[in-house]
Amino acid sequence: MINVALIGCGKIGSRHLQSLIKLNYRTNIYLVDPKNESINVSLNLIENELKQNSEISVKSCFEIDEIPEGIDLAIIASDSKPRFEIFKNLLERRAPKYLILEKLLFAKEEEFSEALKLNEKEDIKIWVNQWMSAEPSFRNLCSYFKTNEKIEVSIHGDNWGLCCNSVHYLELFDFLCQKKELNIQKYEFEKVFFSKRKGYLELNGKIEIVSSNGSKLLLESNDAGKLEGEEIIILIKSSNTKAKCIFKMDSLECDLEINGLKIQKKYDLFLQSDFTHRIIEEIIEKNSCKLPTLDRAIYHHNLFYPLFKNFFQEKGVDLSEGIPIT
């Protein structure tokens, strides 16, 4: 029997819940959200599956204090603005053995260092759901590239969420580079516009990052009137291997060239609703998982945070609640 708390029952929280009920263990799931409507929407998504699985029980809670002590694993899937306070309250009141956080981690710069201090005190294993290098298809794609040589990675698309999604691609690049030192080389942003999530903002533009071994990452999001993330082009190049991939929400189509040999591969990607339980089972069985740890994810976030913060300040955005990115 394992006990899991899911805090935040919005869109991404609901996807986590759809996966949690697929766990291969007897599981008590505690849904935590101050809005009864959000909890009910999440429960409606799993109603039929829950009736067919007597090994899974789900209880609704409106605050952290309603969660019992002895939680094995928690997922914080709230928006970024309240996430630090939720994180702090959880660690102080109902500290779990394991914790998974959604990105963008926190809204205020000082919260990153405070989170690390809290974790040192509580000694909890924490990962962040920057999922790309943990997803089997992306991991297989990375296996075609040698880890000891320079690579060039570029990400191109329209309105794919430069602010909220860059940490995913940086984590994939970091995995390919074997966690070298990373630095922003240059960047250029366009106008601020509203995110699809109320109360949050986005940018288009480009960011160039270089690693200490000379590898390079280019992130470029344009405004061509297309839907967000409709189709993203991922290019990866090393001395003897090239990959051109079309990334959609649930698929990855790649043209590879390895020492002159051309290969086509099509991958079906795991959606979050079929991925979370796989990560949790890995954590329970191995005491670890392939997601980035909290400290490494904070390293990723801290590369981007000053860039976005400064640009928003220049444009007169109110940052009293932190940077409005989720």
How far from the centroid of its chain's Cα atoms is residue 138's Cα? 14
Is 100 within a domain? Answer: yes
- Count of domains observed in the chain: 2
DSSP 8-class letter at 95:
-
Question: For residue 77, which of 21, 16, 126, 13 has the smallest C-alpha distance?
Answer: 13
Copy the structure tokens of residue 47: 């109603």
Is residue 84 within 8 A of residue 115, CB to CB? The reply is: yes
User: Same structural domain for residues 173 and 111?
Assistant: no
Is 155 within a domain? Answer: yes
CATH of the domain at 225: 3.30.360.10
User: Same structural domain for residues 173 and 254?
Assistant: yes
User: Same structural domain for residues 168 and 62?
Assistant: no
pLDDT computed for residue 169 by the predictor: 98
CATH of the domain at 66: 3.40.50.720
Is 62 within a domain? Answer: yes
Gap between the Cα atoms of 211 and 285, Å rounded:
33
Contact partners, residue 264, CB within 8 Å, separation at least 6: 253, 254, 255, 256
pLDDT computed for residue 52 by the predictor: 87
Number of helices (H), then strands (E), belonging to the chain: the values are 8, 14
Is 64 within a domain? Answer: yes
Percent of the chain with pLDDT over 70: 98
User: Same structural domain for residues 113 and 170?
Assistant: no
Q: How many CA atoms lie within 13 A of 320 on its CB side?
A: 1
pLDDT computed for residue 223 by the predictor: 87
pLDDT computed for residue 191 by the predictor: 85
Gap between the Cα atoms of 323 and 326, Å rounded:
9
pLDDT computed for residue 228 by the predictor: 56
Q: Sheet holding 216-222: strands in order across?
A: 182-194, 201-211, 216-222, 152-158, 232-237, 241-247, 251-258, 261-268
Is 301 within a domain? Answer: no
Distance in Å from the first CA to the final CA of the chain: 33
Domain that holds residue 146: 136-269+306-314
Give the DSSP letter string of 51-80: HT-TTEEEEEESSGGGSPS--SEEEE-S-H
Is 299 within a domain? Answer: no
Is 89 within a domain? Answer: yes
Give bridge partners of residue 210 from the DSSP assignment. Answer: 183, 216
Please work out, in degrees rounded to the nearest 5, the angle formed at the alpha carbon of residue 73 by the alpha carbons of 34 and 64: 25
Q: Is 306 a residue whose pLDDT tops 70?
A: yes
pLDDT computed for residue 237 by the predictor: 97
As a whole number, mean pLDDT of residues 246-254 equals 96
Tens of pLDDT, residues 74-108: 999 999 999 999 999 999 999 999 999 999 999 99
Token look-up 């979050």 returns: 272
Q: What is the mean pLDDT of the chain?
A: 95
Q: Cα dihedral sign for 100, 101, 103, 108?
A: negative
User: Same structural domain for residues 187 and 173?
Assistant: yes
Tens of pLDDT, residues 39-64: 999 999 999 998 888 899 999 999 99
As a whole number, mean pLDDT of residues 292-307 equals 97
Helix H or strand E encompassing 129: none
User: Same structural domain for residues 87 and 193?
Assistant: no
Tens of pLDDT, residues 148-188: 789 999 999 999 999 999 999 999 999 999 888 999 999 99
User: Same structural domain for residues 93 and 108?
Assistant: yes
User: Same structural domain for residues 193 and 253?
Assistant: yes
**Higher pLDDT residue, 199 or 129?**
129
As a whole number, mean pLDDT of residues 271-296 equals 97
User: Same structural domain for residues 78 and 168?
Assistant: no
pLDDT computed for residue 153 by the predictor: 98
Q: Is 192 a residue whose pLDDT tops 80?
A: yes
Confidence band for 122, pLDDT divided at 50, 70 and 90: confident
pLDDT computed for residue 229 by the predictor: 54
User: Same structural domain for residues 84 and 218?
Assistant: no
User: Same structural domain for residues 66 and 190?
Assistant: no
pLDDT computed for residue 56 by the predictor: 95
Is 297 within a domain? Answer: no
Token look-up 């599981």 returns: 27
As a whole number, mean pLDDT of residues 17-28 equals 96
User: Same structural domain for residues 53 and 190?
Assistant: no
